[in-house]
Amino acid sequence: MTKPHRQVSTTAALQAATADASVRHITLTESLADVPSLRLSPGQTLTGADPQTTLRFAAGQHGLQLSIDNSVDNLELVTDIDKWAVFNDTSVDQLGRLLLQNLVVHGVVLLLARDKVRGGHVEAHDVDIVAADARGYDVRPAGFGVEVIPGAFTLWNQQTDKAVIITAELTGLSAGRAGAPVHGSGIFVSGAGDVGGRMVVSLLETGAVYSHGGIAPGVANCISGGVFTVYGAFVDSVHNLGPVTTYGQNDMVLDNWGSVDNWVAEDKITSYGPSGIGFVNFGTVNELVVNAPIETFGQGSRGYNVYAGTVHSAEFDRVVTHADGAVGMQISQPVGSIVVHRGIETFGGTGDSLVKGVVVKLSAIALSFKPGAWAREVSIAGGLTTHGPGVNPLELHGTVDSLTITGGITAAGEGF
């Protein structure tokens, strides 16, 4: 009689267990190498005997495929970094409940609702993606003149039917290392557009995220993001507990195309590449709080932008940019309130920057309200300071009902 719980220590035994639908719980007691791609049968769980238990898949192959109601826990999963370390079978009707927890991953986590999949719930808790390259998955969301590279962790409802809803709770997600980022976006959640299937997330919580989109210089129609909530994503709360850092061209750090009720970043937000943005919004955010500095270093890399949609309430610690064309804050839409506690400071002059898929000339103005922008209240403590030649600290072509700036408005560069 087959036991519903099986301990395995060899590749052959693991393959036999995953293929036997009567086995419900599989415990891997030894690390294995050169393992062929595996599929968990519906209802199966796979657990490592201890956190150092490693499942290393054969070179050139994807890793662990999930089906329905699967749980994967307490393992290190290793594939080539451009392969899918964890992915799902899209020929089933429902995901059921998929649970990933206490995992160290080398390779991409790619969970999709497409083909036959029309529902389900995904939970991921304490998943650390050490290295991954997500650029090989060439299906990409498109909007606002650009397409978005998916992430090292990608959860995406691609069904065009708006009645298809995938729900999720995601905590403790991290990706990359300082100086050794994942390639593509970092953490990516998406629905199928503004009128398609929805991704409904109660909590998206991240630790440290380091990403590099790997976008070639001169490419204007492609972006990536450190943490990206894409269109069709409805998120109750985004909580960035660790630093989020991007290194490449057109790499946004925090980017929203969806709908987020509450977004809080507790640690530093940093962009090193050209035409990156600390936080950029094209969707709707009810409340945004950034409790640590936003700092950008690349040409045209702005601190905070609202180009479409709105942010009803935004609160910042400090915003600093260092390069030509790198505006501190630029608002192009009606918003609610903006509060900055320790000032906005820019060090660059005029230079190229990517705006909605088009490269334009911008000056590194500290605070810029474009035509069509409106704010109920703007309060800046710590002042507005520019250091570039001829760069105005404040540009006000829109409307602000109440504007308070303490700490001075200073154009420290020559020629102004």
DSSP 41-99: PTT-EEEESSTT-EEEEPTT---EEE-SS-EEEEEEEE--TTSEEEEE-TTSS---EEE
Closest CA to 204 of 161, 154, 162: 154
Q: How much is the pLDDT for 362?
A: 83
The domain spans of the chain are 1-80, 98-219+227-267, 270-416
Q: How much is the pLDDT for 3?
A: 73
Closest CA to 346 of 388, 395, 379: 388
pLDDT over threshold 60, residue 355? yes
Is residue 85 within 8 A of residue 64, CB to CB? The reply is: yes
pTM exceeds 0.85: yes
Q: How much is the pLDDT for 298?
A: 96
Phi then psi dihedrals of residue 12, to 5 deg: -60, -45
The arithmetic mean of pLDDT across residues 364-391, rounded, is: 96
Q: How much is the pLDDT for 15?
A: 98
pLDDT over threshold 90, residue 361? no
CB atoms within 10 A of CB 415: 9
Q: What token pair was written down for 403?
A: 């504007």
Closest CA to 162 of 202, 190, 201, 193: 193
Closest CA to 136 of 121, 154, 119: 154
Burial degree of 90 (CB within 10 A; 0-12, 13-18, 19+): middle
Tens of pLDDT, residue by residue over 130-154, are 999 999 998 999 999 999 999 999 9
Share of the chain above pLDDT 70, in %: 98
The arithmetic mean of pLDDT across residues 295-316, rounded, is: 96
pLDDT, mean over the chain: 96
Strands 334-340 and 310-316: parallel
Q: How much is the pLDDT for 1?
A: 46
Distance CA 206, CA 151 (A): 13
Distance CA 61, CA 250 (A): 30
